[in-house]
Structure 1
Amino acid sequence: MTKKIFLIISIISISIRCTAQEVGNTAINANPKLVVGVVVDQMRYDYLTRFYNRFGEGGFKRMMREGYNCKNNHFNYVPTYTGPGHASIFTGTTPKNHGVISNYWYDKFSKKVVYCASDPSVKAVGSDSELEKMSPRRMKTTTFADQNRLHTQLQGKSIGIAIKDRGAILPAGHAANGAYWFRGKDEGNWITSTYYRDKLPDWVKKFNDSDQAASYLKIWNTLYDIKTYTESGADKNVYERGFKGKKTAAFPYDLETLKDQNDGYDIIKSSAYGNSLTADFAIAAIDGEDLGKDAITDVLTVSFSSTDYVGHNFGVNSKEIEDTYLRLDKDLERFFIALDTKVGKGSYTVFLTADHGAVHVPSYLKSIKIPSGYFDIKELSAKIQAFVKDTYKIEGLIEKIDNYQVFFAYDVLAENKIDAGDLENAIAHYVLQQERIDKVFTRQQLMSGNYTSGIAALLQNGYNQKRSGDIAIVLDPATIVYSSTGSTHGSGLNYDTHAPLLFFGNGIKHGSTTQKTEIPDIAPTISALLGITFPNGATGNVLSFVLE
């Protein structure tokens, strides 16, 4: 009798161990079939709360309801621009390491300004334009999409999509199967470059031939009665730029009529319909590239660029911005429905964030007595050049002033036996005396200091020893180099650094936190979810509280 009982207990014990092992193996191996990284260009965090009551249930609210909301998510570097933003999100590090220090920057070796995605060694595919020679080669580190490609022996796909070339190229990574962006002007097509392939795939040709882009050359009016748009300012005001050919920056806008004066198909980019076109193309890519069709994880990156164009044109407090986000919410809903249908509920993981925020129009802030203003960087550059010439009695010590940075001509310094540290200190002291200058940092400070908080730490994280300049200049809060209409970005202040971060889908908990998270945390978190090696330059942390 005792032997029988022992035998029964042993069998049960073995069964329990086997079941636990099976459950464990399932948990380890049940990766999502598809990871989708969504970037909303120029999205401030408060757009989630400001427009919340107007959103439907299937877009932003679905992510917040079913997923995890990181409410205190920030960029931990400056400058907060599109190129560095997309690179930092997907590489898990900052410009200090990935090297994308701005959209454009002065290259000290070629002695010219370069673009973050430009590559003269390639050609455009799908366009004859000489302006579309693009690749990710200027980005120095890998993305989590690159690591997924390596981990799966190149079986997991990586596809990047955005109206902006840099919004498609940098997230998808170096080993991507494809990156597609929108060529406007008189073409209106989605294109790529020979970095990826020599001809467009059939599904892209089919999409371009469908004239889907042309279908958005129509009236842009508010989605709902404009009287219900109470989360934004007056439709007619002096703080918005609008479109050429229309006297007022106020609804409605006849895009077909206005296109000839606004660079043809490019006018779609600056309307809410640019996001709709992006969603259309992203949905087509799921089938066209067979994404999420098997157990090997694929990566799709989608950047909605039109929110940035609309923000720059009309400002963060405009009716146009409110309408753009209400329409984007609907585009996200149909994109998620497509993922449910084509990949399967519970079989994919999505995160949504932004590449930067934006400031309220300073002329508007000034009207309500909030400190703000505009700055003439050309005037400051001339003053710096004159100061250096008068002080040192030598021409050519300053090689370039670009991106709020001063670059020295080291050959001229050497010829005249001028100490770079002395020149740094002299210029820094002079610049700090000027109006609307808040702070100035030297190369020596940024390379030898160990800043852990404040703007100094953000500057240090954005400072690349090889690519950055010798003096870094910080303007006063809400002070910008821009026109008196529309919004912009680039600073280390909260209006530019505070961005949404939502996760939902396979492997994601339900909940929210006000614990501070940072943009470079995203790539390590997704890497941990997939069980793959982190991007090779990653410095962010895994947000373990987000993962199941």
Structure 2
Amino acid sequence: MAQEAAKPAVSQQVPTGAPRLLVAISIDQFSADIFAQYRQRFTGGLARLTQGAVFPAGYQSHAATETCPGHSTILTGNRPAHTGIIANSWIDQSVAVGPKVVYCAEDVAKRTAGSRDYVASPVHLLVPTLGEWMKQANPAARNIAVSGKDRGALMMGGHDIDQVYWWKGKGFTTLAGREIGPMAVAQNAEITRVLTKGAGEFPLPAYCGRADRAVKAGDVSVGNGHFALKAGDADSFRTSPRLDRATLDLAVKLVDEQKLGKGAVPDLLAVSLSATDYVGHATGTEGAEMCIQLTQLDLALGDFFASLDKRGIDYAVVLTADHGGFDIPERLHEQALETSARVGPDVSAEALSAALGRKYGLEPKNLILSDGPSGDYWLRKDLDVGLKGKLLDDAARLLMTSPYVEAVLPAAQIAATPMPGGSPETWTLAQRARASYNPLHSGDFVVMLKRGVVAIPTPRAGYVATHGSPWDYDRRVPILFWRKGMTGFEQPSAVETVDIAPSLAALVGLKIPQGAFDGRCLDLDGGAANTCGAGK
């Protein structure tokens, strides 16, 4: 059984009136576009948050708009260039055991031969999270994270974390070497009861009727699913509103178990809600499935906030997303968006390796490596430096003949680009790539697909749509702050997710060393008062 740590004396004064609990929520694949599309339909928790400080044009400003890098920005206040989390996974040719692909939340040093599993860890995260700063300032502070994905929980919680849980298999688990606490055991028992019995469909709201129709994506039919749950089908539980409800229910249980918000210093609860991403990948963003998912998510958040209200906790909330998303090309074509397409095989590392291997008389296997048909690519590390330069130039020329490719950026060009500033909506592609570039993990060059090109050549069950592009439909996310009694306002200008951590730090009077954040503090009083002075 997990034991609550002893609470030492307070070491940094907490200002009068500071909230006692910060709740940071990330909705995986919740784009600014989909927030705007459904905003007037919300009646629950999301409706409540729109009464606070609304920044509808938040940006995950970097190019690698994936779950791990996006989550790494939210509570560190730093871009992936500084967090070290440049993608969900990258190639490390020095790995001794197993595949060269390294998962962002994996401790590669603990790999064992023959194992298909990995040891989840925040080991690759290079900067502290807000919860870690809070614990450093006041060791009595509690830093808790829950998620439907390990990378969501670990990138928001960081290294020094009191409790952390994520979905795995048929329930929630935690870090290797830690026991699952009683509240997580209780939540898993509830999930087991549902899985054993199964469950019926979710109701289809009237306004979802327009989206409730089947669309073919290759051999997969999507668009009219209502999330009926067959007994024992844990994958369907995960790819449904049930996962978010279970995650929030566990969060409430941990509030009680850890007495969050009841101590002398502020605590932090990070909640990453993953079902929207799973639904988006499996069905796209414009079918009945997504309409039902967002409706149920709004209701679940409403119940979550009501639970915190009932406990009399003085809490402040921020809600954002790790990235946006894009619908399936097949449905977009029906709407006359002909520029949408699926990427072709010519962009793959295998195709490039074959072509360049023939030209130079080299063994083509692993001549060029990547973890997908876009993003970072690597040249085989044992090649001569001069030959590498020729291969890079030829790879770029070949890729730029593809109708799917917008840009190929060599690592040297990206590294030489100054870290961007100013409004992220105006950044060049090179600047967006720079915000994602870290020499420890980044590739030899980056491939950016054209706007509207989906990086899934062939759709399959559970994976018909995706994100990860440098375009604003993947970069733009809402950022919503709320606290009881605050004056609501809306600020339409572009801000960044790296602005969240310094804003929350100021809210609780946390003094952070200058230069620790890429982001800036946002005034959460809409100009009525300066809320950004306390944390300086």
Question: With structure 2 as the length reference, what TM-score do the two structures score?
Answer: 0.85
Judge which range, 172-181 or 248-257, deviates more.
248-257
1:193 partnered with 2:193: no
State which of 348, 356, 373 in structure 2 corresponds to 1:388. Answer: 356
The 5 Å alignment of 1:63-82 reads: 63-65=49-51, 67-82=52-67
Q: Name the structure 2 match of 1:100.
A: 85
1:27-426 equivalences in 2 (<5 Å): 28-56=15-43, 58-65=44-51, 67-110=52-95, 112-119=100-107, 131=117, 133-152=119-138, 154-184=139-169, 188-194=170-176, 197=178, 199-211=179-191, 214=194, 218-225=198-205, 227-230=206-209, 232-239=210-217, 250-257=224-231, 259=232, 264-344=233-313, 347-370=314-337, 371-377=339-345, 380-395=348-363, 398-403=367-372, 404=374, 405-414=376-385, 418=386, 420-426=388-394
> Contact 2:223 / 2:287 at 8 angstroms: preserved in 1?
no
The residue type paired with residue 544 of structure 1 is D
How far off is 1:208 after superposition?
2.7
- Deviation for aligned residue 1:363: 1.8
> Among residues 453, 465, 485, which one is paired with 1:479 in the alignment?
453
Assess if the C-alpha contact under 8 Å between 1:400 and 1:408 holds in 2: yes
- SS in structure 2 at match of 1:474: strand
Q: Distance between the aligned counterparts of 2:171 and 2:389, measured in 1?
A: 51
Cα offsets for 1:380-399 (capped at 9, x unmatched): 42332234334434446935
Q: 1:542 to 1:306 in 2, by over 3 A?
A: same
Residues 1:156 and 1:481: Cα distance change in structure 2 (over 3 Å): same
What is the rounded CA distance, in whole Å, between the counterparts of 2:511 and 2:197 in structure 1? Answer: 44
Alignment of 1:456 onto 2:438: no
TM-aligned CA distance change 1:322 to 1:220, over 3 Å: farther
SS in 2 for 1:37: strand
Answering whether residue 480 of structure 2 is matched by residue 502 of structure 1, we say yes
Aligned alpha-carbon RMSD (Å): 2.8
Q: Residue 495 of structure 2 aligns to a residue in which SS?
A: strand
Deviation at 1:492, TM superposition (A): 1.3
In structure 2, distance between residues paired with 1:382 and 1:223? 45
Is the partner of 1:386 in helix, strand or coil? helix
Amino acid at match of 2:429: I
Offset from partner CA, 1:264-289 (integer Å, 9 cap, x none): 32221101111111111111111011
Q: CA deviation at 1:205?
A: 2.4
- In structure 2, C-alpha distance between the alignment counterparts of 1:71 and 1:278, rounded to whole Å: 25
Q: Deviations over 1:121-178 (max 9, x none)?
A: 679xxxxx973621111111111111011010x2100111011111112111110001
Instruction: Give the whole-Å Cα distance in 1 for the aligned partners of 2:486 and 2:75.
Output: 18
Pairing 1:515–2:493 present: yes
Alpha carbons of structure 1 residues 211 and 441: separation in structure 2 relative to 1, 3 Å: closer
Shift of 1:250: 3.0
CA distance in 1, matches of 2:116, 2:370: 27
For structure 1, the residue ranges without an aligned partner over 5 or more in a row are: 1-24, 124-128
Deviation at 1:216, TM superposition (A): 8.8
Query: Residues 134 and 142 (structure 1 numbering): CA distance in 2 closer, same or farther, change over 3 Å?
Result: same
State how far apart, in whole Å, the 1-side matches of 2:347 and 2:408 are: 17
State the SS of the aligned residue for 2:230.
Answer: helix
Structure number with the higher helix fraction is: 1
SS of 1:51's equivalent in the other structure is: helix
Aligned-pair CA distance for 1:527: 1.6
How many residue pairs get matched? 495
Distance 1:449 1:183, change over 3 A: closer
**Does the C-alpha gap of structure 1 residues 332 and 465 become closer, same or farther in structure 2, counting only changes over 3 Å?**
same
Matching residue of 2:5:
none
Contact 1:523 1:534 in 2 (8 A): no
Name structure 2 gaps, 5 residues minimum: 1-11, 421-426, 532-536
* Bigger Cα displacement from structure 2, 361-370 vs 165-174: 361-370
Runs of at least 4 residues off by over 6 Å: none
Q: Contact 1:241 / 1:314 at 8 angstroms: preserved in 2?
A: no
Please tell me the residue identity of whatever aligns with 1:207.
Q
**1:384–1:427 CA contact under 8 A, matched in 2:** yes
Q: TM-score if structure 1 supplies the norm length?
A: 0.83
Structure 2: which amino acid aligns with 1:365?
A: L
Q: Distance in 1 between matches of 2:222 and 2:518?
A: 47
Q: 1:256 to 1:222 in 2, by over 3 A?
A: closer
Opposite residue 406 of structure 2, the aligned amino acid is D
Task: Report how far residue 80 of structure 1 moved.
Answer: 0.6
Q: Which residue of 1 aligns with 2:398?
A: 430
**Structure 1 residues 27 and 361 mapped into 2: Cα distance closer, same or farther (>3 Å)?**
same
CA contact under 8 A between 2:347 and 2:399: conserved in structure 1?
no
